[in-house]
Amino acid sequence: MKPITPMQWSFLKRYQGALDSKECLSKRFGGDGCDGRIVHAHMIPRSQLAQIAVQGHVHAVPTRLSPIAQMKRSGFQAEDIGIGNFSTLQCFCARHDKNLFAPLEDAALTFTREQLTLLHYRAMAAEVYIRGNAEDAAANEARKYLSSDPRREPFYQAFQIHSLAAIAAEENFKRTENMINLSGYDEIRAAIIRFDATPVLLSVGAFRPLYNVVGTKLQNFSEEAAYIGMHILTADKMPVAIFTWLKGERPSKRFAKSFCLQPYKELTTLAVQIAFEYAEHTCMRRDWWMSISKRWRALLLNRVETANRAAWVPDEDFLSFESLLDDWKCRSIDFVN
Ligand SMILES: [Zn+2]
């Protein structure tokens, strides 16, 4: 195993710096009243993390560049992460983080239209923030080389990929923000899938579904690509998977419907696969992770590894599986139209 060279370390540090840029996203499209200080905003509420934590820690695959660079040499692994440090992004100021998300943080999750809109908004904010920073970081590196230099190519390619995602994500984010500013939540759509089990995994993410869960093509990556938000949270101490999208986004609706049409006993396995495939913020109870088969652990870690390549595009059978991973016993599916 080749060690990481000092030059690679300094590159990683510089690149991570660009990925960690601080910005209150509520300002991006004309909001005001920032208090100036950018906080480490939690994408998954601490109160939720505490429900699956063991001695204050959850188990997750690290998402920062330096552990990823090391894991690319030694193999991808999940490790213990303190809940104070898990799933935080510097994308809101203290005031907006508190005020915007109070209906999620200070009240029980009952999936009102307002709560669903806020869940969607926060998942989209994470995507806008991550893609925008990845675009900037890649552009900064690409600029260092002449266009004829082959070393420029991977950065230029990454720049184009993230830029396309950022444009589509910002469009969706703007629409969602508009609903929040007007306190009118009629454009939010959702599928809420409730399970009957002890929660072992939490996840938040937003992605552009290319195929539905049985491999039917839904869309291409374009500037207008539809986004879907995906959460695995707990309500009444039981797991709930929530898909959110905006009115008129047909590929997202078709993705959610195809998920809900599968046999109940397969829904847990599908949800966990989607969480590992797409969601930057997925964590679990350590003992659950150790209880699943070695083969499943390898498959899920492989998903994270592939998803970490900028140019990776899922194919039509990316969600197929031969054996069940787990079954949290789905008890109901509700749609918000
Ligand atoms: Zn702010």
pLDDT digits (tens, 9 = 90+) for 229-253: 999 999 999 999 999 999 999 999 9
Q: Are 19 and 42 in contact (CB under 8 A)?
A: no
The H or E element that residue 49 is part of is helix 46-52
The H or E element that residue 199 is part of is none
Kindly tell me the burial class for residue 132, based on how many C-beta atoms sit within 10 Å of its own C-beta (0-12, 13-18, 19 or more). Answer: buried
Higher pLDDT, 87 or 104: 104
Rounded to whole angstroms, how far apart are CA atoms 59 and 51? Answer: 13
**Alpha carbon of 92 to ligand 1 centroid (Å):** 5
Q: In the block, which residue shows the tokens 């906080």?
A: 39
Burial 272-292 (b: 16+ CB within 10 A, else e): bbbbbbbbbbbbbbbeebeeb
Higher pLDDT, 154 or 315: 154
**Alpha carbon of 153 to ligand 1 centroid (Å):** 36
**Alpha carbon of 39 to ligand 1 centroid (Å):** 10
Rounded to whole angstroms, how far apart are CA atoms 109 and 127? Answer: 22
Q: How confident is the model at residue 29, as a pLDDT?
A: 66
Average pLDDT of span 271-300? 91
Whole-number average pLDDT of the chain: 90
- 275 pLDDT more than 80: yes
Q: What is the pLDDT of residues 54-98, one digit of tens each?
A: 999 999 987 777 777 777 777 888 889 998 888 888 899 989 998
Most confident of 4-13, 112-121, 128-137: 112-121
**Alpha carbon of 126 to ligand 1 centroid (Å):** 15
**Alpha carbon of 107 to ligand 1 centroid (Å):** 22
**Alpha carbon of 96 to ligand 1 centroid (Å):** 5
Measure the CA angle with vertex 54, ends 48 and 55; round to 5°. 110
**Alpha carbon of 12 to ligand 1 centroid (Å):** 28
Higher pLDDT, 10 or 157: 157
Q: What percent of the chain has pLDDT over 90?
A: 60
Q: Are 279 and 230 in contact (CB under 8 A)?
A: yes
- 21 pLDDT more than 90: no
Lowest mean pLDDT, pick from 34-48, 128-142, 302-316:
302-316
> Which residues on adjacent β-strands are paired with residue 203?
232, 282
- Identify the DSSP state of 79: E
**Alpha carbon of 193 to ligand 1 centroid (Å):** 32
Residues less than 5 Å from ion ligand 1, measured at CB: 24, 26, 34, 93, 96
**Alpha carbon of 102 to ligand 1 centroid (Å):** 14
**Alpha carbon of 236 to ligand 1 centroid (Å):** 31
> Which residues on adjacent β-strands are paired with residue 54?
57
**Alpha carbon of 85 to ligand 1 centroid (Å):** 21
Statement: the pTM of the whole predicted model exceeds 0.85 = yes
**Alpha carbon of 115 to ligand 1 centroid (Å):** 19
- 224 pLDDT more than 90: yes
Higher pLDDT, 196 or 14: 196
Lowest mean pLDDT, pick from 6-15, 198-207, 221-230, 266-275:
6-15
Q: How confident is the model at residue 31, as a pLDDT?
A: 66
> Which residues on adjacent β-strands are paired with residue 230?
205, 243
Residues 6+ apart with CB under 8 A from 183: 114
- 124 pLDDT more than 90: yes
**Alpha carbon of 13 to ligand 1 centroid (Å):** 26
**Alpha carbon of 26 to ligand 1 centroid (Å):** 5
- 312 pLDDT more than 80: no
Q: What percent of the chain has pLDDT over 70?
A: 98
Q: What is the pLDDT of residues 194-215, one digit of tens each?
A: 999 999 999 999 999 999 999 9
113-142 vs 153-182: helix axis angle to the nearest 10? 150
**Alpha carbon of 171 to ligand 1 centroid (Å):** 19
Q: How confident is the model at residue 321, as a pLDDT?
A: 84
**Alpha carbon of 136 to ligand 1 centroid (Å):** 21
- Identify the DSSP state of 135: H
**Alpha carbon of 86 to ligand 1 centroid (Å):** 21
CA distances from residue 198 to 177, 195, 214 in whole angstroms, order as listed: 34, 9, 28
* Token code pair at residue 116: 């669903």
Rounded to whole angstroms, how far apart are CA atoms 281 and 301? Answer: 14
- 2 pLDDT more than 80: no
